[in-house]
Amino acid sequence: MTFFIPPVQPQQIVSPSRAIYTVMGQENITRMMEDFYVELEASSIRAMFPADMRAAAHKSATYFIGIMGGPPLYQQRYGSPMMRARHLPFPITQAARDEWLDCFERVLQDAPARYQFPSEHLDGFREFLRGFSTWMINQTS
């Protein structure tokens, strides 16, 4: 396997609207991430995640709460996100990235009804997820 640097730069990735948090709040974002991790648990990339998927979902929720306009819980608890560096130990290929996105997409399909996700911000959030997940790719095969 070859170490890979994706063609996207982090500064090119547009963050999701910070207004999302105002509508959803911490509880709905956390529930959405719990459901996302249920999807990941049943996926082909399950081995990349820790045994305690609920704890992993809550850690991820702290990151998403912050980037969606809430308090910087991730930084307060774990330090600087440095997401690419944190993901380098895992072999993330295009296929793994696509599986991750597919899991997120299944959760987002009814996100406005289930989590009060503001529908006017879904496209921007999806665009963020595409760029973010592309930046995590670190191997070509």
Please say if the pLDDT value at position 100 is more than 90: yes
Which tens digit of pLDDT belongs to each residue from 12-21? Answer: 899 999 999 9
Contact 8, 36 (CB under 8 A): no
Please say if the pLDDT value at position 99 is more than 60: yes
**Cα 110 off chain centre by:** 17
Angle subtended at Cα 73 by Cα 131 and Cα 6, rounded to the nearest 5 degrees? 20
Look up the CATH architecture of domain 10-136: Orthogonal Bundle (1.10)
Q: What percent of the chain has pLDDT over 70?
A: 98
pLDDT confidence of 10, banded at 50, 70, 90?
confident
Helix (H, G, I), strand (E, B) or coil at 32: helix
Q: What per-residue confidence (pLDDT) applies to 6?
A: 83
Q: What per-residue confidence (pLDDT) applies to 1?
A: 53
Calculate mean pLDDT across residues 93-104: 97
Name 65's Cβ contacts closer than 8 Å, sequence gap at least 6. Answer: 21, 26, 29, 30, 71, 73, 74
Tokens of 98: 């696509």
Which tens digit of pLDDT belongs to each residue from 71-96? Answer: 999 999 999 999 999 999 999 999 99
